[in-house]
């Protein structure tokens, strides 16, 4: 006798589904931490390879030019600040001289002369103006010389950079090759961990499909499969990942299709009972899908689409009490027969008699 499978209450099923999702997410999260820990494995260091591979002369020249460039920029900034300050002082002196000259012009017009203090201030302002003008010219010449030196340093720096680029090209190629090898190594480490887990989950998926712990297996399998796909996406080149994903999807789709075809050719007892139960409930032959025209539906006509729209058929209870065996006129399958225990008419393809509960079943297999 087959053990009955209890579905449980809605709340219980909801909790099972929720905790299954939680287990899947937590497993995916845990595998993510493990994968990130594997990423901590040190790979090639490009700066270290440059320090070891570039000629010492070029590196020293680059550092010296960089230091000279910083020093020149500081000198230019300092000279520029002094020039601005001197220019501002010259401008202020010129305004003072203009004011004193205006006073002198007014004094000449009025036949008077400037005071001794004003005359001294005019003389001092003229001397300061001339000194500032001279200093400004000196600073401009110094700034021009510094800019020439800056251009020369920058030109040497460009030449040094071109030489370093030529010398570092083989080092960069070597680094790219080592980095690619490192990525493949990390992928191998991760897949060495994940592939066995994926195989175990696949084995459990086949063994526990529809079983008591099916939801747990589905959650873990989904988490491991998703993590494997992410690892392949991160480390495999796009052209390889594209073909791997397509081939994997093709293999899964082919496996599911083969399982479905086998299920149609050699259906399991549970699958047959589900098919028979649904067909009887909709008044169709479970074998050939021909309408079951018996009792009050003897002269009715319907399809699966029109069945839900039909008005319930009224019938006489006395006439309905007279129930007769019934055979499908299309495929010759016995759909209703007399129960061996109580003598009442029962469903031939279902496991129990609805009147006495007898479990004797006349097994009928569908021919492929």
Assess contact for 17 and 25: CB atoms under 8 A: no
**Mean pLDDT value of segment 109-116:** 68
Element holding 335 (H helix, E strand): strand 334-338
Per DSSP, 289 falls in state -
pLDDT at residue number 4:
52
- Phi and psi, residue 75, nearest 5°: -65, -40
Instruction: Give the sign of the dihedral formed by CA 27, CA 29, CA 34, CA 39.
Output: positive
Closest CA to 292 of 328, 325, 246, 245: 328
Measured over the CA atoms of residue 190, residue 195, residue 196 and residue 202, the dihedral's sign is: positive
Q: What is the mean pLDDT of the chain?
A: 80
pLDDT tens for 261-317 read 887 777 777 777 888 888 888 888 888 888 888 877 777 776 766 665 555 555 555
> What distances in angstroms separate CA 49 from CA 54, 166, 182, 215, one per listed residue?
8, 15, 15, 51
CB 103 within 8 A of CB 114: yes
pLDDT at 2: 46
pTM of the entire predicted model: 0.55
Partners of residue 284 on adjacent β-strands: 291
Is the predicted pLDDT of residue 26 greater than 90, yes or no?
yes
Composition of the chain by helix, strand, coil, percent to 5: 70, 5, 25
> 116 pLDDT band (50/70/90 cuts)?
confident
């Amino acid at each position: 006798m087959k053990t009955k499978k209890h579905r449980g209450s809605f709340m219980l099923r909801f909790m099972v589904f929720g905790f299954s999702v939680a287990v899947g997410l937590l497993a995916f999260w845990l595998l993510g931490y493990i994968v990130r820990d594997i990423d901590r494995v040190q790979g090639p260091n490009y700066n270290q390879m440059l320090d070891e591979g570039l000629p010492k002369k070029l590196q020293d020249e680059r550092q010296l030019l960089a230091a000279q460039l910083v020093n020149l920029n500081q000198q230019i900034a300092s000279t520029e600040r002094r020039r601005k300050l001197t220019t501002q002082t010259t401008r202020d002196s010129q305004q003072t001289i203009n004011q004193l000259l205006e006073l002198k012009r007014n004094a000449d017009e009025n036949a008077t002369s400037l005071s001794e203090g004003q005359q001294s201030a005019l003389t001092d302002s003229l001397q300061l103006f001339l000194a500032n003008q001279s200093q400004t010219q000196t600073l401009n010449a110094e700034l021009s010389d510094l800019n020439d030196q800056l251009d020369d340093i920058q030109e040497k720096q460009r030449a040094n950079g071109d030489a370093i680029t030529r010398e570092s090209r083989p080092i960069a190629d070597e680094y790219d090759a080592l980095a690619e090898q490192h990525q493949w190594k990390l992928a191998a480490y991760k897949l060495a961990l994940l592939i066995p887990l994926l195989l175990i989950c696949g084995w459990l998926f086949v063994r526990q499909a529809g079983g008591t712990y099916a939801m747990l297996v589905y959650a873990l399998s989904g988490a491991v499969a998703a993590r494997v796909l992410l690892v392949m996406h991160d480390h495999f080149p796009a052209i390889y990942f594209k073909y791997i994903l397509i081939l994997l999807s093709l293999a899964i789709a082919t496996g599911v299709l083969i399982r479905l075809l086998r299920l149609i050719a050699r259906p399991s007892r549970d699958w047959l009972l589900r098919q028979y139960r649904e067909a009887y409930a909709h008044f169709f032959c479970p074998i050939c899908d021909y309408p079951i025209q018996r009792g009050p539906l003897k002269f009715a006509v319907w399809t699966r689409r029109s069945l839900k729209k039909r008005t319930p058929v009224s019938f006489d209870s006395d006439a309905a009490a007279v129930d007769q065996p019934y055979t499908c006129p299309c495929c010759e399958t016995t759909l209703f027969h007399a129960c061996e225990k109580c003598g009442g008419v029962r469903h031939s393809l279902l496991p129990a008699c609805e009147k006495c509960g007898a479990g004797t079943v006349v097994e009928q297999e569908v021919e492929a």
